[in-house]
């Protein structure tokens, strides 16, 4: 088989190829090294338990590597043209085969060569030798998507005989020659990896199949990377290559950090002191304790208010769980890019502490769509490589191989958007890579209370798969509605292959209203921790307020100074209130914050806010901050008095969390925390904006259960459970209609999510990957879901600049931009266009107008790597831009406003 090719390319007039034999050797060796040095213990155990013993497990793995491109030994593949369109190269390689006796291959023209792509063909050949479908389906899926049905495989050899054997005459010597050669490769593989015949290759569980599929793709990508495993000159004597050396150098170029061995610490208290310099506080200690005494730790849900140290608790949990379950990395998922960026330095510090202790380098990845723009991530040094003999100094590094869009999730320590986790439940090509990456780690998901029903569907399913892999999961959240809490545990539990009815669980699992609360699984037991140190807590007064009383109340409350917050439900309302209130109180005393600001300006505004009313800030005498929901999301700021539009109970409580958050001295009039709720209604008729955002049902229930005072934190869970309970309350006919609407609404969301959602994992017996990524109902136009993990119509993001006399500048600067210097900075000046411009009716026209505009005015952006693919708009001297019938105006104080353009005549 020395004359078959696996890869070929013409570069600078020189011809290169990679002989098939070489590529098979390379891949088998690389996958073997990955097994030894990269897979975590937990992952290996999963495969081993499916196969019998470790030696056999490694052999199966290497056999996959060796046989993955077996079907490149077919006329269908060998007659493929080179990508570089090099006729000379193609011809020379075919001549090699002619000389070997494959007469006629040079002139062979197959009717359907693409019907037998080599992954599928490989599976077909293996099945014809009697290899089981677990193993063969991994070969069949090694290009990212497993075959759709057994039938597709079984018809191959008969229907497309010539693709495999050059002609359809079985007795023909050339037909035979192909067959013999293919079988020879197979037999060599068996011999090399110690299987006596095709029946000796063991079957695998479905979860083991996915992990090995991922590992095979990974090994193939590494072995196909010319920087690690170079092609060979076509006239070069390849027998001179030292295999041992080729593998060693190739692998070392890729392998930059050793596998993480979690520290075998003595006790949790010392670990806390070591990592963070303090002893664990109550909630932290209780979580650590639960993990410590669990014999089969699974999922841990920690519901607790901000400020109890959930992040540190999770980081220590990662170390504990990694040690207990044999994991070698972690994924820390957050709801937004901004929160990921925000937590990144803290996690970096924790990891630095670990690497220093262990005297071993580890690589850290920030994983989201705009990670490349983050400086903290950017300044992590590139890994130099492993110094086997010398001791490493133990620093954080990055390995560029993991910066690819699909390889990112394979890195060992990852901070990223939760989407990266949710995507593991979405049917898409190369999904096995994502599963491979996650199954290596401990998974932490933060701020789970913030996810809607659509994301929830993906979260549950992703968690279920984690259960199947035995991956420990830590969920951090504010109070969860009991039903969601139960779904989380249940899905994990089902993933492990057990029956929910056999679970030993507390009766009030779903209605438990303690807060803080830890719920966790330990083997077949579900346990809850409800006893925590009694917290002092505090009482918040709730007052309902009419819009027309707002100014007067503000005036009265702030007469002795103080910081007031006003959180409303729509951007437009925030902007209107800003006008009204700044008129009365003066521009200098009022701030506005919402998402319709350019991203950089918003970051500045938030930093500014933190410096004024964040923790330990020196507070201004008087300030009114008006904003939308951005204020309730993870900003650690502190208001003396707070006003809010009516919103669902859990969100109101999130907002209340910003009221008297820290213990500081406050103006005399504002020493009692008061929370004013705007937009309530005797008749339960709410304003259209609030309705559109939250729906009538939740607003009605919230208003119904809204008390006159709330004790923080003890009332929190009770109120949330009441609001989200399914019981009947008598609020008349409108309520029943709203309830029905809500059910339909949620049902639609869930259905949409399920369209492209991955199916349940199999029970942990034998399985295969056939049909794993099949699209269930491709023609079902109704309820068509799109392949995404967030439920939203597409919104359009643009970069905003303004016109100057001599060029263009950023909106809050006047210096002309120089693309060769400013491209990266420019790329961060984005804003999302109003929904009105991206409705189904409008979006195509909006985008095409933008594209035409960009081609004309901003064509020079497209050659900048930072700007490639982005759309920009240039504001005129009035800070305006006309787009698809709308007049957009950007104001530094107000943010983006828009109005329909007057059509005259």
Q: Which of 595, 680, 681, 755 binds DNA (CB under 7 A)?
A: 595
Q: Report the 10 Å Cβ neighbour count for 870.
A: 17
- Phi, psi for 578 (deg, rounded to 5): -60, -45
Q: Which does 399 bind (CB under 5 to 8 A by kind): Fe ion, DNA, none?
A: none
Q: Based on CB atoms, which residue is closest to DNA, 312 or 591?
A: 591
Q: Based on CB atoms, which residue is closest to DNA, 114 or 393?
A: 114
Q: Which does 338 bind (CB under 5 to 8 A by kind): Fe ion, DNA, none?
A: DNA
Under rule CB under 7 A, residue 834 binds DNA:
yes
Q: Report the 10 Å Cβ neighbour count for 274.
A: 13
**Residue 7 beta carbon to DNA: minimum distance, rounded to whole angstroms:** 7
Sheet holding 895-900, edge to edge: 880-883, 886-891, 895-900
> Looking at 244-252, 367-375, 495-503, 813-821, which segment touches DNA (CB under 7 A)?
367-375
Q: Which of 595, 592, 597, 596 is nearest to 581 (CA)?
A: 592
Q: Which does 143 bind (CB under 5 to 8 A by kind): DNA, Fe ion, none?
A: DNA
Grouping H, G, I as helix, E, B as strand and the rest as coil, residue 890 is: strand
Q: Which does 790 bind (CB under 5 to 8 A by kind): Fe ion, DNA, none?
A: DNA
Under rule CB under 7 A, residue 368 binds DNA:
yes
> Looking at 169-177, 342-350, 405-413, 508-516, which segment touches DNA (CB under 7 A)?
405-413
Q: Which of 10, 170, 11, 151 is nearest to 93 (CA)?
A: 10
Q: Based on CB atoms, which residue is closest to Fe ion, 30 or 670?
A: 30
Q: Which does 532 bind (CB under 5 to 8 A by kind): Fe ion, DNA, none?
A: none
Q: Based on CB atoms, which residue is closest to DNA, 143 or 857?
A: 143
Query: What does each C-alpha distance from 639 to 48, 543, 573, 861 come to in angstroms?
Result: 56, 16, 20, 43
Q: Which does 385 bind (CB under 5 to 8 A by kind): Fe ion, DNA, none?
A: none
User: What are the structure tokens assigned to 81, written together?
Assistant: 């043209």
Q: Based on CB atoms, which residue is closest to Fe ion, 69 or 650?
A: 69
Per-residue binding letters, 208-247, with DNA (x by CB under 7 A): ------------xx--xx----------------------
447, 314 Cβ separation under 8 angstroms? no
Q: Which of 761, 783, 784, 764 is nearest to 772 (CA)?
A: 761
Mention every residue, 6+ apart, whose C-beta is less than 8 A from residue 269: 279, 280
Under rule CB under 7 A, residue 596 binds DNA:
yes
Strand 830-832 with 797-803, pairing: antiparallel
Q: Which does 594 bind (CB under 5 to 8 A by kind): Fe ion, DNA, none?
A: DNA
Mention every residue, 6+ apart, whose C-beta is less than 8 A from residue 307: 661
Count of residues interacting with DNA (CB under 7 A): 56
Q: Which of 794, 860, 876, 891 binds DNA (CB under 7 A)?
A: 794
- Strand pairing partners for 891? 895
Q: Which does 104 bind (CB under 5 to 8 A by kind): DNA, Fe ion, none?
A: none
Q: What is the CA radius of gyration of the chain?
A: 31
Under rule CB under 7 A, residue 757 binds DNA:
no
Q: Report the 10 Å Cβ neighbour count for 181.
A: 17
**Residue 122 beta carbon to Fe ion: minimum distance, rounded to whole angstroms:** 10
The Cα 354–Cα 366 span in angstroms is 18
Q: Based on CB atoms, which residue is closest to DNA, 392 or 696?
A: 696
> Looking at 82-90, 415-423, 501-509, 699-707, which segment touches DNA (CB under 7 A)?
415-423
| Stretch 324-353 residues interacting with DNA (CB under 7 A) | 335-338
> Looking at 101-109, 696-704, 763-771, 836-844, which segment touches DNA (CB under 7 A)?
836-844
User: What are the structure tokens assigned to 680, written together?
Assistant: 């309530």
Q: Based on CB atoms, which residue is closest to DNA, 805 or 900?
A: 900
- By residue count, the chain amounts to 905
Q: Based on CB atoms, which residue is closest to DNA, 260 or 697?
A: 697
The Cα 731–Cα 747 span in angstroms is 23
Under rule CB under 7 A, residue 205 binds DNA:
no
Check residue 382 and report its DSSP letter.
Answer: B
Q: Based on CB atoms, which residue is closest to Fe ion, 69 or 640?
A: 69
Query: What does each C-alpha distance from 262 to 45, 324, 330, 412 come to in angstroms?
Result: 17, 9, 11, 12
**Residue 787 beta carbon to DNA: minimum distance, rounded to whole angstroms:** 9
Q: Which of 48, 174, 509, 836 binds DNA (CB under 7 A)?
A: 836
Tokens 């023609």 belong to 779
Beta strands in 125-187, from DSSP E residues, in sequence order: none
**Residue 452 beta carbon to DNA: minimum distance, rounded to whole angstroms:** 6
Q: Based on CB atoms, which residue is closest to Fe ion, 69 or 715?
A: 69
Q: Which of 80, 406, 427, 766 binds DNA (CB under 7 A)?
A: 406
485, 510 Cβ separation under 8 angstroms? yes
The Cα 82–Cα 805 span in angstroms is 52
Residue 415 Rama label (left phi>0; alpha psi -120 to 50; beta): beta
> Looking at 321-329, 353-361, 662-670, 786-794, which segment touches DNA (CB under 7 A)?
786-794
| Stretch 4-43 residues interacting with DNA (CB under 7 A) | 7
Q: Which does 535 bind (CB under 5 to 8 A by kind): DNA, Fe ion, none?
A: none
Per-residue binding letters, 558-577, with DNA (x by CB under 7 A): -----------xxxx-----
The helix or strand, by DSSP H or E, that contains position 416, with its residue range, turns out to be strand 413-417
Under rule CB under 7 A, residue 400 binds DNA:
no
Grouping H, G, I as helix, E, B as strand and the rest as coil, residue 768 is: coil
The Cα 872–Cα 881 span in angstroms is 11
The Cα 74–Cα 116 span in angstroms is 9
DSSP state letters, 463-506: HHHHHHHT--EEEEES---HHHHHHHHHHHHHHTT--GGG-B--
Q: Which does 406 bind (CB under 5 to 8 A by kind): Fe ion, DNA, none?
A: DNA
Grouping H, G, I as helix, E, B as strand and the rest as coil, residue 136 is: helix
**Residue 28 beta carbon to DNA: minimum distance, rounded to whole angstroms:** 15
Per-residue binding letters, 597-636, with DNA (x by CB under 7 A): -------------------------------xxx--x---
Under rule CB under 7 A, residue 177 binds DNA:
no
Under rule CB under 7 A, residue 144 binds DNA:
yes
Q: Which does 430 bind (CB under 5 to 8 A by kind): Fe ion, DNA, none?
A: DNA
Under rule CB under 7 A, residue 84 binds DNA:
no
| Stretch 445-504 residues interacting with DNA (CB under 7 A) | 452
Q: Which of 370, 380, 316 is nearest to 348 (CA)?
A: 380
Q: Which of 43, 78, 361, 417 binds DNA (CB under 7 A)?
A: 417
Grouping H, G, I as helix, E, B as strand and the rest as coil, residue 54 is: helix
Q: Which does 572 bind (CB under 5 to 8 A by kind): DNA, Fe ion, none?
A: DNA
Q: Which of 430, 619, 655, 658 binds DNA (CB under 7 A)?
A: 430
**Residue 550 beta carbon to DNA: minimum distance, rounded to whole angstroms:** 18
Under rule CB under 7 A, residue 416 binds DNA:
yes
Secondary structure, 3-state, 666-699: CCHHHCCCEEEEECCCCCCCCCHHHHHHHCHHHH
For Cα atoms 413, 311, 382, give the angle at the middle one, nearest 5 degrees: 25
User: What is the contact surface with Fe ion in residues (CB under 5 A)?
Assistant: 69, 220
The Cα 760–Cα 491 span in angstroms is 10
Q: Which of 370, 612, 704, 763 binds DNA (CB under 7 A)?
A: 370
| ω into 333 cis (within 30 of 0) | no
> Which residues here bind DNA, judged by CB under 7 A?
7, 143-144, 220-221, 224-225, 335-338, 367-370, 404-407, 416-417, 419-420, 429-430, 452, 569-572, 594-596, 628-630, 633, 688-689, 691-693, 788-792, 794-795, 797, 832, 834-836, 839, 841
């Amino acid at each position: 088989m020395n004359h078959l090719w696996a890869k070929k390319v013409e570069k600078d007039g020189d011809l290169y190829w990679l002989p098939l034999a070489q590529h098979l050797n390379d891949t088998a060796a690389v996958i073997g090294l990955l097994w030894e040095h990269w897979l975590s213990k937990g992952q290996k155990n999963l495969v081993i338990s499916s196969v019998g013993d470790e030696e056999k497990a490694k052999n199966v793995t290497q056999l996959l590597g060796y046989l993955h491109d077996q079907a490149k030994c077919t006329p269908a593949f060998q007659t493929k043209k080179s990508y570089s369109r090099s006729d000379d190269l193609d011809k020379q390689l075919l001549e090699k085969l002619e000389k070997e006796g494959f007469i006629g291959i040079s002139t062979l023209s197959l009717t359907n060569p693409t019907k037998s792509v080599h992954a599928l063909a490989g599976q077909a050949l293996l099945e014809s030798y009697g290899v089981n479908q677990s193993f063969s389906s991994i070969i069949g899926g090694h290009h990212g998507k497993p075959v759709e049905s057994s039938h597709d495989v079984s018809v191959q050899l008969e229907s497309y005989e010539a693709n495999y054997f050059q002609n359809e005459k079985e007795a023909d010597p050339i037909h035979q020659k192909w067959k013999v050669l293919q079988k020879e490769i197979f037999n060599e593989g068996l011999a090399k990896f110690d299987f006596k015949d095709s029946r000796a290759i063991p079957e695998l569980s479905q979860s083991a199949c996915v992990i090995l599929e991922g590992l095979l793709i990974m090994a193939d990508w590494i072995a196909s990377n010319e920087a690690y495993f170079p092609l060979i000159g076509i006239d070069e004597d390849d027998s001179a290559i030292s295999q041992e050396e080729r593998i060693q150098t190739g692998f070392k170029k890729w392998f930059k950090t050793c596998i993480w061995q979690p520290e075998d610490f003595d006790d949790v208290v010392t670990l806390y002191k070591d990592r963070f310099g303090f002893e664990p506080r109550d909630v932290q200690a209780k979580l650590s304790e639960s993990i410590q005494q669990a014999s089969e730790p699974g999922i841990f849900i920690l519901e607790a208010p901000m400020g109890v140290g959930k992040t540190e608790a999770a980081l220590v949990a990662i170390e504990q769980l990694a040690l207990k379950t044999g994991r070698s990395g972690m994924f820390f998922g957050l709801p937004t890019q901004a929160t990921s960026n925000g937590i990144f330095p803290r996690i970096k510090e924790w990891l630095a502490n670990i690497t220093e202790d262990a005297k071993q380098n580890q690589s850290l990845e920030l994983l989201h769509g705009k990670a490349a723009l983050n400086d903290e991530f950017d300044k992590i040094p590139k890994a130099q490589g492993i110094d086997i003999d010398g001791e490493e100094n133990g620093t954080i590094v990055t390995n560029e191989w993991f910066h690819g869009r699909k390889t990112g999730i394979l890195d060992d320590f990852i901070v990223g958007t939760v989407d990266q986790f949710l995507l593991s439940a979405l049917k898409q090509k190369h999904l096995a890579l994502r599963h491979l990456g996650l199954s290596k780690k401990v998974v932490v998901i933060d701020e789970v209370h913030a996810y809607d029903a659509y994301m929830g569907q993906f979260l549950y399913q992703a968690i279920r798969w984690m259960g199947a892999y035995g991956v420990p999961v830590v969920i951090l959240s504010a109070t969860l509605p009991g039903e969601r809490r139960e779904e989380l545990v249940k899905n994990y539990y089902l993933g492990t292959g057990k029956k929910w009815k056999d679970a030993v669980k507390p009766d009030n699992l779903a209605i438990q209203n303690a807060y803080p609360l830890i719920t966790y699984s330990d083997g077949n037991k579900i346990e809850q921790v409800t006893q925590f140190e009694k917290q002092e807590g505090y009482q918040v007064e709730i007052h309902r307020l009419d819009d027309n009383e707002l100014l007067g109340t503000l005036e009265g409350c702030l007469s002795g100074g103080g910081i007031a917050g006003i959180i409303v439900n729509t951007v437009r309302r925030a902007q209107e209130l800003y006008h009204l209130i700044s008129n009365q109180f003066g521009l200098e005393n009022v701030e506005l914050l919402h998402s319709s600001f350019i991203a950089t300006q918003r970051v500045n505004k938030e930093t500014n806010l933190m410096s004024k009313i964040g923790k330990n800030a020196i507070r201004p005498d008087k300030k009114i901050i008006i904003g939308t929901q951005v204020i309730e999301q993870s900003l650690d700021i502190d208001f003396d008095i707070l006003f809010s539009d009516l919103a669902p109970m859990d969100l109101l409580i999130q907002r209340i969390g910003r009221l008297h958050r820290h213990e500081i001295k406050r103006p005399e009039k504002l020493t009692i925390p008061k929370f004013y709720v705007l937009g309530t209604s005797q008749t339960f008729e709410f304003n259209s904006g609030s309705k559109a955002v939250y729906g009538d049902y939740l607003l009605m229930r919230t208003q119904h259960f809204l008390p006159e005072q709330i004790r923080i934190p003890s009332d929190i869970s009770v109120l949330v459970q009441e609001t989200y309970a399914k019981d009947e309350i008598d609020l008349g006919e409108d309520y029943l209609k709203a309830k029905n609407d809500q059910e339909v609404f949620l049902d639609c969301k869930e259905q949409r999510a399920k369209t492209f959602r991955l199916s349940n994992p199999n029970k942990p017996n034998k399985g295969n990957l056939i049909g794993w990524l099949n699209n269930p109902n491709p023609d079902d136009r109704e309820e068509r879901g799109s392949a995404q993990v967030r439920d939203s119509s597409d919104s359009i993001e643009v970069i905003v600049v303004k016109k100057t006399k001599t060029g263009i500048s950023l909106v809050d600067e006047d210096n002309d931009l120089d693309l060769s210097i400013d491209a990266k900075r420019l790329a961060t000046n984005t804003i999302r266009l109003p929904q009105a411009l991206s409705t189904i009716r409008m979006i195509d026209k909006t985008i095409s107008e933008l594209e035409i505009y960009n081609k004309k005015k901003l064509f020079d952006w497209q050659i900048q790597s930072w700007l490639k693919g982005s759309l920009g708009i240039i504001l005129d001297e009035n800070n305006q831009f006309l787009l698809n019938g709308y007049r957009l105006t950007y104001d530094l104080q107000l943010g983006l406003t828009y109005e329909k353009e007057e059509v005259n005549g």
